[in-house]
Amino acid sequence: MASEHNDFSIRPATVDDVPLILQFIKDLAEYEKLSDMVVATKALLRETLFGERTVAEVIIGYEGEQPAAFALFFHNFSTFLGRPGIYLEDLFVKPEFRRKGYGKKMLSHLASLTVQRNCGRLEWSVLDWNTPAIDFYKSLGAIPMDEWTTFRLTGNALEELASGLR
């Protein structure tokens, strides 16, 4: 196993981190071969993450002073549990910082937040082809929800349903 670096710290992002957050998002999209899907801007992230009505939170992991990892998450709710949960939208460790245990430290931090906030679960999605991540998550005790299929409405389909045209 790779040795863990002792100089790794995690802190909540601030509005000053918006350019860094956007770069992490772009790096993740490139890794996932989805770069053409990124339409987020600094202004949009500033508003949604740090504006009047924030909808998500970000933590950044640093090796020394170097930003090495980020995670973006938000609260969801389980009607069956009657409690909120945390949904991890994105977790990304820069390639040069991988195999040092930083992904596990980021998830451990999120698990701690989940427990501290009295949430019932921490969950996320992973692309089917990303077997290194799937194997890593399983090693932590995470269970794939194979019986569930994610559905999504965007663009015209979303607009049409919202306006009653569908």
Residues noted as catalytic: 137
- Are 28 and 90 within 8 A, CB to CB? yes
DSSP 85-153: EEEEEEEEE-GGGTTSSHHHHHHHHHHHHHHHTT-S-EEE---TT-HHHHHHHHHTT----TT------
Is residue 62 within 8 A of residue 68, CB to CB? The reply is yes
Task: Indicate the length of the chain as a whole number.
Answer: 166
Q: Tell me the CA distances in angstroms from 39 to 22, 90, 106, one per residue in order.
A: 10, 16, 26
**Helical packing angle, 18-31 and 42-50, nearest 10°:** 110
- Look up residue 44 and give its amino acid: L
